[in-house]
Amino acid sequence: MAASSELQLDLLPSDPLLHILSYLSFRDLVHCSYVSKRLNELSKHNPLWKCHCCKHWLLTDADRLQSGLSWYNLFKQYYSDLGQYIKYYAVLKKAWEQLKSFLHQRCPRMITSLKDGATELELNDIEAQIDCKLPDDYRCSYRIHNGQKLVIPGLMGSMSLSNHYRSEVLLDVETAAGGFQQRRGMRRCLPLTFCFHTGLSQYVALEDAEGRKKGESFYPCPDQTAQDPSAIDMFITGSSFLDWFSTYVNNVVTGEYPIIKDQIFRYVHERGCTVTTGDITVSVSTSFLPELSSVHPPHFFFTYRIRIEMSRSASPEAACQLDSRYWKITTSDGNVEEVHGPGVVGEFPVMTPGKVHEYASCTTFSTPSEYMEGHYTFHRLANKEEVFQVAIPRFHMVCPPYREPQTPTQKASTSDTTHVDDDDFCHKDDEDDRDDFGGLRRINMVPLERSSCPRFTL
């Protein structure tokens, strides 16, 4: 009976069989090759493997011609090297290519900081060094690019406010291994990024431990009210390396994050957070600063960037000057605060047709979410008696998800909302937290000797 079925299969014309095979996964194609001699021949049909090479390895006709191999053999070659990453490779490779294409156009000097991919042997040696397995999606990305050189600006975004500056470098795997954590509260965690100015790192949990889930990325936040100093809160930034990296790249290449002075700034523009009053449009983007925040005591620090633009089509007589601002601030616990003040961060910008004025300010809250709205008061330059208001759209500031440590804590009393302008801003002293970053404090700083920390007005 089996022989009869095989004979009937062999008598079928090739075209319908190839059409059926085109719906199969690469694994099923391999399985089919063991069924019969006929299927073995058909399952190696080049167009079938071209589809899988394009889908899984993002290969092109030019890649195949350069290799001198058939599509089938080219797939086998890539699979023998990267097969364990086939679940992640296409997504991560595409993300890297999109990011590099964007950087070539907008931040070309950052391209030169990218390092070539690590080898399997190098990654295996790192696992042996830290005695812990690296996630496959992490390994896959580092096969493509082994992070970046220790330079400024960092690939993973910057933030600048008055005398506070942050720029996160994507660490190469060797440097990251030097900061691998085994201390209580941070066991089995590997740093992903590092900022030389703040000592801030994002980490990835390599195992389920101390309330963290394997693969999660996060900013550690020492619980300042805990009896046990090893109690670490965490601001969660991703559920896996793939999620963490691909989400970041998407925000960059879609313009969600602005490019300022050849750097990527991690401000997020809430969709619809733009309002036009007459000839003037106001839009707002926001950012959470984990390095200046804490869960215990509850102190959540946000910065917001405001763009004020007068339409190019406005008449010259519409020229005006900003006199004052008004804010209505509502926290998630229902507390409402109103703030009045002259100008914006000490300035009184003049708006003329086509003029754009941008500035950044900041605020702190004792609740993890809140929103602000308000208006500016202007007067016309041609007639100072003509005073009018321009609406500021409502914008939300939401702390990323956070998880508290398993260690019991002593809760501090909550503080009131505090709103400060950029020129009144003072950054947190991080001297007491320096031991929290392990071996990263011993990084060779020579590559940064000719780098400068940009100080500019946002």
Question: Using CA atoms, how far apart are residues 219 and 203, in angstroms rounded to an integer?
Answer: 6
Q: Would you state the pLDDT for residue 90? A: 98
Compute the average pLDDT of residues 406-435. 42
The domain limits of the chain are 15-85, 90-248, 267-427
| Cα–Cα nearest to 71, from 42, 50, 57 | 50
Residue 75 near residue 57, CB atoms below 8 Å: yes
CB 416 within 8 A of CB 360: no
Query: Is the backbone of residue 417 left (phi > 0), alpha (psi -120 to 50) or beta?
Result: beta
Q: Out of 76-80, 96-100, 315-319, 409-413, which region has the weakest mean confidence (pLDDT)?
A: 409-413
DSSP characters over 177-191: HHT-B-STTSTTEEE
Contact 351, 150 (CB under 8 A): no
Handedness of CA 409, 410, 411, 415 (dihedral sign): negative
Strands 145-148 and 263-264: unpaired
Q: What is the mean pLDDT of residues 342-349?
A: 95
Question: Which of 240, 174, 222, 144 is CA-nearest to residue 407?
Answer: 222
**Average of per-residue pLDDT across 419-423:** 46
Query: How is residue 419 written in tokens?
Result: 């709103």
d(CA 202, CA 215): 12
Bridge partners, residue 277, by sequence: 280
The Cα 313–Cα 192 span in angstroms is 47
Q: Is 413 or 155 the better-scoring residue by pLDDT?
A: 155
Question: For position 272, what pLDDT does the model report?
Answer: 84
Output the pLDDT for position 406: 65
Q: What is the mean pLDDT of residues 10-24?
A: 88
Residues of the chain above pLDDT 70, percent:
86
Q: What is the pLDDT of residue 161?
A: 87
pLDDT at 436 over 50: no
Query: Mean of the pLDDT values across residues 403-421?
Result: 53
The hierarchical CATH code for the domain 267-427 is 2.60.40.1470
Provide the pLDDT for residue 63: 96
Task: Find tokens 């559920």 and name the residue.
Answer: 239
Residue 180 has pLDDT above 70, yes or no: yes
Residue 417: name the closest of 339, 337, 345, 304 by CA: 337
pLDDT recorded at residue 448: 34
Of all residues in the chain, what percent carry a pLDDT higher than 90? 76
pLDDT score recorded for residue 227: 87
Q: Residue 229 has what pLDDT? A: 87
Q: Residue 411 — pLDDT band, cuts 50, 70, 90? A: very low
pLDDT score recorded for residue 162: 81
Structure tokens at 162: 């008055």
What pLDDT, in 10s, does the model give residues 113-146? 999 999 999 999 999 999 999 999 999 999 999 9
pLDDT in the model for residue 71? 96
The arithmetic mean of pLDDT across residues 58-87, rounded, is 96
In terms of CATH, what superfamily is 90-248? SMI1/KNR4-like (3.40.1580.10)
Average pLDDT of the segment spanning 64-76: 96
Mean pLDDT of the chain: 87
